[in-house]
Structure 1
Amino acid sequence: MAATLSPPLVSAPPQSSPPTPETLPSNNHRYRYRYRSENQTRYTVDYTNPTILPLIERCSSTSQAKQIHAQMLRRRIFFDSSYYASRLFTLYALSDFSPSLDYARKVFDQMPEPNVYSWNTLIRAYASSSEPLQSFLVFLDMIQDCPDSPNKFTFPFLIKAASELAAKRVGMAVHGMAVKGSLDCDVFVLNALIHFYASCGDLVEGCKVFSKMPERDVVSWNSMINALAQEGGSSEKVFRVFEGMLGEGVEPNDVTMVGVFSACAKIRNLRYGRWFHSIVVKNGIEKSLILNNAMLDMYTKCECLCEAKRVFENMGKKDIVSWTTMLSGYAKMGEFDAARIVFNAMPRQDIAAWNALISAYEQNGHAKEALALFHELQVSKYAKPDEITLVSSLSACAQLGAAESGSWIHVYMKKHGVKLNCHLMTSLIDMYAKGGYLDKALEVFQSAEKKDVYVWSAMIAAFAMHGRGNDAINIFKRMQEAKIKPNAVTFTNVLCACSHAGLVEEGRFYFNQMLPKYGVVQQVKHYSCMVDILGRSGLLEEAIELIENMPLVPGASVWGALLGSCRTYGTIGQAEHAFAHLIEMEPRNHGAYVLMSNIYAKFGMWDGVSRLRKLMKEFGIKKEPGCSSIEVDDTVHEFLVGDNSHSQCREIYLKLYEIAERLKSNGYVPNKSQLLQDIEEENVKEQALYSHSEKIAIAFGLIKTAPSTPLRIMKNLRVCGDCHTVGKLISKLYDREIILRDRYRFHYFKEGQCSCMDYW
C-alpha cells in the first residue's frame, strides 16, 4: 500500500490520543497508539521502514508529526531504530511548526540510544533558542552518555551558543577542546569561531583565526566581513578584506554584499557604495529583500536620494524596513513633503515609521510639525507611542518652550504606565527646564529612583540656564557623593553655570580639575566655556592668553565666545581679531556678522555696519530673523520681528502703543544703540525697537492671559538690551511676572528686576 497522509478513510473509534509530553512513555515501557484526527477521521498509513523517511520529510504540521510518532510508537520503530527516531526528533526540534522545544526534549529523552546526530541536533536547537545555556548542559550529558565523541558538527553549535551568551571564557574553552580534538582546521568550526570572537568584541582574536585558516570558503569571508562591518571604526578594513576575497577568486554572494553595504553606510562612503552596487549587477547576485534594504540604507545615509529612490522603485518586494528607510532618507534631508508622501503610501505604518518622521521634524527644527504628528499618532489605530516617540516629542516641546504640551505628555506617560527610565527622565527635566518650570524639573529629578550621569547632567544644565550657578554646583557635589562619574557633558554644564552666574573662581577650579581629578580631557567646548567665563567678567587678556596656549586648535565656538565678550568689554581691534578668525572657520556664520555689526553700532561706526551688511548681501548671507513664541491654551503662537500676520494683529499693536505710552510716562528712554542701521528719524528708530518679536509676544500675552498669570516667552536669539529694559519695566508697571528664555539663558522679570542682575 502506498504511504499517504490523505485522503481520509473510514473512521474507527480511537483507543488513545496522539502523544503529549505527559503521555510519552519512559524508556522501560512500550505502548501502542492509535490516533484519530480532530475531524474524527482515522488516517491509515503503511509504516514499513522504507516509507517512513519520505513521510517525515513531507510532514508539514504538528498534527501530521504526531500521527507518524504515534504509529512509530505502536510498531516499536521509535525504540528499535535510532535512525528513524533521530529523524523524527529532528522534525520536532527544528521545524517551524514544532509545538515547543520542551516537547522535543521529552521526545529526545525517550530515545533508547540517541546517536551523535540527535545529540548535535538538540545542542543546535538550544543554541538558536532563548536558552542557549542549555546547549552546554546537553553537551556535558553527551560526553557522558553518547558512545561517539563530539564531531565537527558539535562544536559550531556550541560556539554559536557561546556567541549568543557573549560568554568569552566558555567559548575559548570550547575553542581549546576543538584544538584538542584536532578539529581546529575544520572550516565550519573556524567560521563559527570568527563570529564568536566578533560577538564578544574581540576582533583581534577573530582576525587571528581568519588569517590562520588553511582554507576559506565564502562563509569564512562573509564572517570576517560582517564581523568588521559591525565594528564602527573598521569599515576601511571591510573594504580591504573584500578586495582580498576577490583577489583569491571567491565569488561574493548576497550575504557578502549586505556586509559591505553596511560598512559603506556607517562611514557614508558613496564611492565605494556605487562600486559595490556595480559588482552586484555585474555578477548577477540575486537581489534579496535584505540586500535591497542594505543598498537602500547605504544610499540614504550617503544622502544620495536619487539612487535610493531608483533602488526603492525597482524593488520587487518591500517590507516595513524598506518603506521606513526611504521615509527616513527624505526626512533627514529635509524633504518633508516627499517623506510625508512615502509615509501616507505605506501599507502599514508601524511605530518605527512614525518615530522616523517625528524625530526628523524635531531634529531639523520643525518642532511644531513634530508635535502635530505626535497628536496625529494619538488617534491612530495601528501604532502606539514608545520611548523613542516620547523622547522626540518631549524634545520638540523643549525647543518650543511648550511646557503645557510637555506636561500633557507627562500625564499621558503616567496614565499608560510608562516606566520612566533615565532617557525619559532626562527628556522630562530638559523639557520642564526649557519651558520655564524649574521647580517641576527638580521634582522629576528628585523622584527618579535611578539617576545616571545624563540625568544628573540635565539637572545641572537646568540650573545653569536659569542662572542659578551655586545650585548647579551643589547638584554636581551631590553627584560625586552618589559615586556617579562626571563626563564631558557634565563639565560643559557646570562651566556654563559658572559663566551665567559670574562664578569665575569656581569656573577656573573645575576647569583645572577636569583631567587630573576626573580623567576628563578638556575639549574645545570646555575652552569655549572658560573663555566665556573670563570674557563676561572683563578678563579679556586672560581669555586671549588661554586661547593662545590651548593644546587644541581653537574652534569657532572659542572665537565666538571671545567676540561676544568684546561686545561689552573689548576694543574694536580685539573684536575684529576674533571676528576674522571666526569667519575664516565659518564663512557663512550670520551670527558672527550680526555680532560684529552690534559692536560697530555700539561705537557709532556705521561705515563698518554698512560694510558688513554689503558683504552679507554679496555672499547671500541672511540674518536669522528674531522669532519669539508664547504658549496660550496649549497653542504656541509665534511672532517674527515686525510681524503683522497674526489674526489679532490690530489688538496687539494697540497694546504695544499703550505699553509705549505708559513706559514713556514713567521715564523710559529707548536704547537706540541696539539698532543695526543708521536711522536718522527718531520716530522710525523707536518704531523699529517696538517691533522686536519679544515685545510683540509680551503684548499678546497681556491681552490673552489672566492678570495673575506669568508670561512665558521663548526667543530664538539673544535678547537685546532695550528689550531687557522693557521687560523689567513691564513687570513692574503691569504687575506681571515675565519669564523670557533667549538663546542662552532665562530672564525672570519681576517687580522691575531681572534674575540675571543685568549680567547675561
Structure 2
Amino acid sequence: MATLNTALISHPRQHRLPTPTQNPISITVNNDRFFANHPILLLIDQCTGTKQLKQVHAQMLRIGLFFDPYSASKLITAFALSPSSSLGYARKVFDQIPQPNLYTWNILIRAYASSPDPDHSLLIFLQMLVQCPELPNKFTFPFVIKAAAELSASRLGRGLHGMAVKASLGSDVFILNSLIHFYAACGCLDMAYQVFVNIPRRDVVSWNSIITSFAQGNCPDEALELFRVMEAENMKPNDVTMVGILSACAKKLDLEIGKWVHSYIERNEINGSLTLNNAMLDMYTKCGSFEDAKRLFDKMPEKDIVSWTTMLAGYAKLGDYDAALRVFNAMPSQDTAAWNALISAYEQSGKPKEALAVFNELQLCQSAKPDEVTLVSTLSACAQLGAMDLGGWIHVYIKRQGIKLNCHLTTSLIDMYSKCGDLEKALEVFHSVDTRDVFVWSAMIAGLAMHGCGRDAIYLFTKMKETKVKPNAVTFTNLLCACSHTGLVEEGRDFFNQMEPVYGVLPGVKHYACMVDILGRAGRLEEAMKLIKNMPIAPGASVWGALLAACRLHGNVDLAEQACGCLLELEPWNHGAYVLLSNIYAKLGKWDKVSGIRKLMRDSGLKKEPGCSLVEVNGVVHEFLVGDNSHPLCEKIYMKLDEISARLKSVGYVPNKSHLLQLVEEEDVQEQALYLHSERLAIAFGLLTMGPSQPIRIVKNLRVCGDCHSVAKLISRLYDREIFLRDSCWNEVQQSLPIDKGILSKPTHHVAILLVETL
C-alpha cells in the first residue's frame, strides 16, 4: 500500500478559505486535486461494500490522507451515494472532517434528500449556512428543495425559492425544475405552472416535471394539453414524459387515448423501460382492458414486483379473484404490496372474511410484514364483520411494534371500535393522539352518531371547529346522520342550510338523503317530498331509498309506491326496493300486493337476500342464516333457543307477529318463523360459547325486525349480558336505547341495538 511522507502525517494540510473577494470554489470540481491519483483513492471506486470502504478509511486516517478536502469528499461520496451506501457512517465521517468543502456539504444534503429522513437534509443545509465559508450554489438548491418537497414544507420551500433568486440563481433550469416538483408536492399547481412558464429555456425535464405534476394532481386534461403544446414546440418526449401521460390516461379512464399513447411510443421508438411498461400496464388495468394488459404483460422482457402487483390488483378490481390468486401464487416473490393488493381488493369488494383469511396467511409468511396499508385494510374488514378481537389484537400489535398512530390508522381504529360497539375504546383512541385531521374528527362524529349520541356528536363538531380543522362533505354526512338517529330535526336543518354559505361545502346527494331521512323519521313525509322536488341536483337512489324507508316506518303506502317507482327507475336490479315495499304491504295485511311483488321479483330474476348474522367468538367469526342447521353445535344452539324461549315467556313476552313479512295463518308457525331469525341463532350461540363478562357482538346483513329488537333487550336483561346488534351497512346506523349525556357516556341498558333501514 502506498504511503505519504511523514510531514503530511504530522501536519495535515489546511484548506485555505476564500476571502470575500474571491470566487467560491465550484462544487463539481475540487480545485486542489493534488492527491486525485493516489493509489488509495483509486481503491475507493473498486470497493463493493461498506466493510472495504471502512478499511480504506482506516488507511486514509493512518497516513493522513483523510485530512485532504478532496480525498475526504471522495470517501464521503462513496459512503453516501454508492449502491452499498451507509448514510449513518457517512455522517460520522463527515463530522470528523476539519473543514468540509461545499462539494462535501452538497453530497450529504443530496443523500439525505433521497433518504427516509429528508428533514436531516434541511438541518444539514442550515448547518452549512453557518459553518461553510462558501455560499450555496446551483447544485445545493435542487436537493434541499427536493427535501422540502418530500416533507411538503411549503413555507420553507418558498424561502428557498427566495434565497435562490437573491443568489442570482433564479433562472437556473435545474433549480426551477426542482421548484415545479416542490410546488406540485405541496398542492400548489398554479405556482408550479407559474414557475414553468417563466423558465427562460425549458428542457425535457421541465416539461416532464409539469406534466407529471398535473397528472398526479388529478388534472389529467391539463397534463394531456401540455403534452400537445410540448409537441407543437418540437420538444422530443422521452420515456419519463410518456409515464406521466399514461398516468393521466389512467386517471381519466380513457382507454382510447391510452391506446393512442401506446402506439405513439412504438411509432417514435421511445425506450420501453420497465417503468414505462408498468405505467402502460397500470393504464390498461385501470381502464378495464385486461386483454391488452395480459398481452403487454406476457410480452414484457422484464417484470418486477410492480408489474405482478398491477396485474393482481387489476384482476381483483374486476372481481376475478381466482385470476388474482393465480397471479399472486405465480409471483416470483410476494412483497407487502402484493399482500396489500389482495387484502384491499377483498375488503373493498365486500368480502371481509376473505380479506381476514389473507391477513392470517400473511402472519405466517416470513418474506413480508404488515405495514400501515395492511393494517388499515384489515381494520376495515374487522369493522365490517364486527371482529373486535382481531381488531383489538391489531391495536396491540401497533403498540408493540412501535408504529406511530398516524391519521389513517387512527381513523381506522376509531371506525373499527365504533362499529364493533365499543364507543369508549373509540373515544380512548381519539383522545390518545395529538394530531387529528378532518377524517379523524369525522370518524369520531360517525361513531357517536351510530351509538345514538347525537348531541355529543354536535358537541364534538364544535370542538373540531375550535381547533381550526375545516369540515368536509364526510363530516356533514356523519353530522346529519347523528341528527337523524336522535331526532334532532331543527339542528339537522340548521347544519344542512349552513353547509355552503358558512363552510363552503356544497351539499351532495348523500346530504340530501340524510335530510330526507331526518324529516322522514320525524314523520314529515310531505316536507321530505318537497325537499326532493326542489333539489338542484337529480335525486339519487339513496334519496328515494330514505323516503321509502320513512314510508315503511309511518305506513304511508301511496308515497311508498311513488318512491319505490322512482328508485327502481334508477336501479331496476335493486331487490331491496321490492322487499321494502313488500314489507309495507305485509305490515298492513295487503297480502295480495305482497304476492304481486314476489311474482314480479321472480319474473325479473331477483331474489331477496337471505338474512345472515355474524358473531365473533375467540377471534373466529361464525355465520348464521335464517333457520340455519349447518353449524357443528347446531343441536346445542337450538336447545339454548328453547331455553331462551321458555324464559322469555315466563316474563310475559308475546311475539309481535306484525313483523312477519309473509302470509302465515297457523299460530305456532308464526312464532316459529320469528324464532328462527338469524340474529337469534347468533345470540344463542354467543350465550352458549362466551364467558359471562364477554359482550356478544352481532352484525346482520339486513334490517333487524322490531320483534328481534325487543327480544334482544329482554335476553340482555334476563341473562345480564351486553348484546350489540347492528346492521352491516355502517353509514346509516342508530342506537335504539336511551343514552346518558356526556361524551364518555354508556348505554343505560345492557343491550345496544344499532339499526339501519337497508335497501
Correspondent of 1:569 among 524, 532, 554: 554
Q: Which residue of 2 is the match for residue 278 of structure 1?
A: 263
Q: Any residues of structure 2 matched to 1:484-633 within 5 Å, and which?
A: 484-633=469-618
Distance apart, 1:546 and its partner CA = 2.5
Structure 1 window deviating more from structure 2 (548-557 vs 576-585): it is 548-557
Give me the whole-angstrom Cα distance separating, in 1, the residues matched to 2:435 and 2:665: 61
Give me the whole-angstrom Cα distance separating, in 1, the residues matched to 2:573 and 2:505: 32
When residues 611 and 23 of structure 1 are mapped into structure 2, their CA distance, relative to the original with a 3 A threshold, is farther
Q: Does 1:25 align with 2:28?
A: no
Give me the whole-angstrom Cα distance separating, in 2, the residues matched to 1:163 and 1:752: 57
Identity of aligned pairs, percent?
55
When residues 721 and 125 of structure 1 are mapped into structure 2, their CA distance, relative to the original with a 3 A threshold, is closer
Correspondent of 1:161 among 141, 144, 154: 144
Give me the whole-angstrom Cα distance separating, in 2, the residues matched to 1:87 and 1:483: 50
* Residue identity in the other structure for 1:229: A
Distance apart, 1:574 and its partner CA = 0.9
Q: Which residue of 2 is the match for residue 384 of structure 1?
A: 369
When residues 340 and 237 of structure 1 are mapped into structure 2, their CA distance, relative to the original with a 3 A threshold, is same
Give me the whole-angstrom Cα distance separating, in 2, the residues matched to 1:228 and 1:751: 54
Distance apart, 1:562 and its partner CA = 1.1
Structure 1 window deviating more from structure 2 (726-735 vs 550-559): it is 726-735
For the residue of structure 2 that corresponds to 1:286, the secondary structure is: coil
When residues 680 and 172 of structure 1 are mapped into structure 2, their CA distance, relative to the original with a 3 A threshold, is same
Q: Which residue of 2 is the match for residue 227 of structure 1?
A: 213
When residues 569 and 221 of structure 1 are mapped into structure 2, their CA distance, relative to the original with a 3 A threshold, is same
Give me the whole-angstrom Cα distance separating, in 1, the residues matched to 2:697 and 2:705: 17
Q: Deviations over 1:154-194 (max 9, x none)?
A: 6476345334424443454366468x68x94x766765565
Contact 1:737 1:748 in 2 (8 A): no
* Residue identity in the other structure for 1:499: S
* Residue identity in the other structure for 2:596: R
Distance apart, 1:260 and its partner CA = 1.0
When residues 622 and 74 of structure 1 are mapped into structure 2, their CA distance, relative to the original with a 3 A threshold, is same
Give me the whole-angstrom Cα distance separating, in 1, the residues matched to 2:108 and 2:484: 61
Distance apart, 1:237 and its partner CA = 1.8
Contact 1:18 1:66 in 2 (8 A): no
When residues 291 and 658 of structure 1 are mapped into structure 2, their CA distance, relative to the original with a 3 A threshold, is same
Q: Which residue of 2 is the match for residue 4 of structure 1?
A: none
Distance apart, 1:580 and its partner CA = 2.0
Structure 1 window deviating more from structure 2 (474-483 vs 693-702): it is 474-483
Structure 1 window deviating more from structure 2 (244-253 vs 273-282): it is 244-253
Contact 1:735 1:751 in 2 (8 A): no
When residues 109 and 91 of structure 1 are mapped into structure 2, their CA distance, relative to the original with a 3 A threshold, is farther
For the residue of structure 2 that corresponds to 1:568, the secondary structure is: helix
Using the size of structure 2 for normalisation, the TM-score is: 0.79
* Residue identity in the other structure for 2:378: S
Distance apart, 1:535 and its partner CA = 1.2
Give me the whole-angstrom Cα distance separating, in 2, the residues matched to 1:502 and 1:717: 23
Q: Which residue of 1 is the match for residue 222 of structure 2?
A: 237
Correspondent of 1:745 among 707, 712, 734: 734
Q: Which residue of 1 is the match for residue 744 of structure 2?
A: none
Structure 1 window deviating more from structure 2 (500-509 vs 132-141): it is 132-141
Distance apart, 1:136 and its partner CA = 8.7
Q: Which residue of 1 is the match for residue 280 of structure 2?
A: 295
Structure 1 window deviating more from structure 2 (201-210 vs 528-537): it is 201-210
Give me the whole-angstrom Cα distance separating, in 2, the residues matched to 1:229 and 1:758: 43
For the residue of structure 1 that corresponds to 2:554, the secondary structure is: coil
Give me the whole-angstrom Cα distance separating, in 2, the residues matched to 1:177 and 1:753: 69
Q: Deviations over 1:131-171 (max 9, x none)?
A: 655669879999x879xxx9xxx647634533442444345
Give me the whole-angstrom Cα distance separating, in 2, the residues matched to 1:482 and 1:96: 46
Q: Which residue of 2 is the match for residue 647 of structure 1?
A: 632
Q: Does 1:173 align with 2:158?
A: no
Q: Which residue of 1 is the match for residue 293 of structure 2?
A: 308
Give me the whole-angstrom Cα distance separating, in 2, the residues matched to 1:687 and 1:92: 77
Contact 1:238 1:260 in 2 (8 A): yes
Contact 1:402 1:435 in 2 (8 A): yes
Structure 1: 5+ residue stretches without partners: 1-10, 30-46, 112-118
For the residue of structure 2 that corresponds to 1:241, the secondary structure is: helix
Structure 1 window deviating more from structure 2 (580-589 vs 481-490): it is 481-490
When residues 301 and 19 of structure 1 are mapped into structure 2, their CA distance, relative to the original with a 3 A threshold, is farther
Contact 1:597 1:612 in 2 (8 A): yes
Q: Deviations over 1:383-409 (max 9, x none)?
A: 332222222222222111122222222
* Residue identity in the other structure for 2:477: T
Structure 1 window deviating more from structure 2 (155-164 vs 221-230): it is 155-164
When residues 449 and 110 of structure 1 are mapped into structure 2, their CA distance, relative to the original with a 3 A threshold, is closer
Contact 2:726 2:754 in 1 (8 A): no
Contact 1:168 1:200 in 2 (8 A): no
Contact 1:402 1:636 in 2 (8 A): yes
Using the size of structure 1 for normalisation, the TM-score is: 0.79
Q: Which residue of 1 is the match for residue 447 of structure 2?
A: 462
Contact 1:467 1:756 in 2 (8 A): no
Where relative contact order (Cα < 8 A, 6+ residues apart) is larger, the structure is 2
Q: Does 1:340 align with 2:329?
A: no
Distance apart, 1:639 and its partner CA = 0.8
Distance apart, 1:362 and its partner CA = 1.9
Contact 1:732 1:751 in 2 (8 A): no
Structure 1 window deviating more from structure 2 (672-681 vs 321-330): it is 672-681
Give me the whole-angstrom Cα distance separating, in 2, the residues matched to 1:638 and 1:684: 24
Contact 2:736 2:752 in 1 (8 A): yes
When residues 90 and 359 of structure 1 are mapped into structure 2, their CA distance, relative to the original with a 3 A threshold, is closer
When residues 572 and 253 of structure 1 are mapped into structure 2, their CA distance, relative to the original with a 3 A threshold, is same
When residues 733 and 306 of structure 1 are mapped into structure 2, their CA distance, relative to the original with a 3 A threshold, is same
For the residue of structure 2 that corresponds to 1:625, the secondary structure is: coil
Give me the whole-angstrom Cα distance separating, in 2, the residues matched to 1:364 and 1:636: 18
Correspondent of 1:369 among 347, 354, 367: 354
Correspondent of 1:407 among 392, 396, 402: 392
Q: Deviations over 1:507-533 (max 9, x none)?
A: 334334444554444333222222212
Structure 2: 5+ residue stretches without partners: 18-32, 114-119, 150-155, 739-746
Distance apart, 1:597 and its partner CA = 1.4
* Residue identity in the other structure for 1:602: K
Give me the whole-angstrom Cα distance separating, in 1, the residues matched to 2:267 and 2:220: 23
When residues 462 and 757 of structure 1 are mapped into structure 2, their CA distance, relative to the original with a 3 A threshold, is closer
For the residue of structure 2 that corresponds to 1:25, the secondary structure is: coil
Contact 2:77 2:107 in 1 (8 A): no
Give me the whole-angstrom Cα distance separating, in 1, the residues matched to 2:141 and 2:615: 62
* Residue identity in the other structure for 2:533: E
Aligned length: 710
* Residue identity in the other structure for 1:641: V
Contact 2:386 2:419 in 1 (8 A): yes
Distance apart, 1:534 and its partner CA = 1.8
Q: Which residue of 1 is the match for residue 21 of structure 2?
A: none
Distance apart, 1:715 and its partner CA = 0.9
When residues 708 and 262 of structure 1 are mapped into structure 2, their CA distance, relative to the original with a 3 A threshold, is closer
Give me the whole-angstrom Cα distance separating, in 2, the residues matched to 1:480 and 1:145: 48
User: Larger Rg: 1 or 2?
Assistant: 1
When residues 137 and 403 of structure 1 are mapped into structure 2, their CA distance, relative to the original with a 3 A threshold, is closer
Q: Which residue of 2 is the match for residue 397 of structure 1?
A: 382
Structure 1 window deviating more from structure 2 (312-321 vs 442-451): it is 442-451
Give me the whole-angstrom Cα distance separating, in 1, the residues matched to 2:125 and 2:667: 87
Distance apart, 1:634 and its partner CA = 2.3
Distance apart, 1:720 and its partner CA = 1.2
Correspondent of 1:320 among 305, 326, 340: 305
* Residue identity in the other structure for 2:705: C
Q: Does 1:718 align with 2:703?
A: yes
Contact 2:624 2:682 in 1 (8 A): yes
When residues 192 and 501 of structure 1 are mapped into structure 2, their CA distance, relative to the original with a 3 A threshold, is closer
Q: Any residues of structure 2 matched to 1:748-759 within 5 Å, and which?
A: none
Correspondent of 2:421 among 416, 436, 456: 436
